[in-house]
Copies of this chain bind each other. A is one copy, B any other.
Amino acid sequence: MSFHSYLSSIITVSDELQEAFYKLTHTKEVKKGQLLVLAGERCNDIYFVESGLLRGYYYQEEKEITHWFAREDEFATCFYSFITHVPSAEFIEAIEPCELVQLPYANLQKLYASFPETERIGRLLTEAYYVKLEGRFLGLQFTTAKERYDDLMTHHPQLLQRAPLGQIASYLGITQETLSRIRAKQ
């Protein structure tokens, strides 16, 4: 979906707002495997995924841990770096070729100032990051690996066809072997 259609489904996009978006964002295409953000760099942009699949990951004792996935119609950024202007701890990688809309921090602030309805974007972003993180934090404590896997599959059924098992396993907080076994029994 285009960013514009997505926005229209969320808020009323007046002609002036559409104009402002046109000026304040720009599109970006990335190839499979390309890195959008490197750990150690500041992440000053939000990306809206028009098509494709991104993931955020970091290293934990040599091992790559996938922190999130962002598919079409979702926002992606290094949340903490974006909010605090501190260098990112994570990498953003395109798992698939992507069409993205890039919205710099400063431009988002301009939008907030002129079009209060755009604050919903900030909320969706917070929701995408904080709330999901909280949900996963709880999940880690209170649900089994199988439950977490089933939940992921109901919310994102095609993920298994789009991302390698190891990335999904680390996202779920388990080893690849365990995820493989979970899948084996129906």
Contacts and interface: CB of A to CB of B under 8 A. Distances in A.
Nearest to A120: B84
Contact of A79 (B79, B80, B85, B130): B130
A79 B141 CA distance: 20
A171 to B, nearest CB: 11
The range of chain A's interface size is 20 to 34
Interface string A115-140: 00000001100110111011011101
Contacts of A136: 137
Given A60-B142, A142-B60, A80 B137 contact: no
Contact of A133 (B61, B126, B133, B142): B133
Interface string A51-90: 0000000001100010000000000000110011100000
Given A133-B134, A136-B137, A141-B140, A126 B60 contact: no
Main secondary structure of the interface of A (DSSP, over half): helix
When all copies of this chain in the complex are counted, the total is 2
A126 B65 CA distance: 22
A180 B105 CA distance: 47
A166 interface: no
A104 interface: no
B60 A131 contact: no
- 10 closest Cβ contacts across the A-B interface? A84-B123, A137-B137, A140-B140, A141-B173, A83-B126, A130-B130, A133-B133, A60-B142, A80-B130, A80-B131
Interface of A: 60-61, 65, 79-80, 83-85, 122-123, 126-127, 129-131, 133-134, 136-138, 140-142, 173
30 contacts: A60-B138, A60-B141, A60-B142, A61-B142, A65-B141, A80-B126, A80-B127, A80-B130, A80-B131, A83-B122, A83-B123, A83-B126, A83-B130, A84-B123, A84-B126, A84-B127, A85-B123, A129-B130, A130-B130, A130-B133, A133-B133, A133-B134, A133-B137, A136-B137, A137-B137, A137-B140, A140-B140, A140-B141, A140-B173, A141-B173
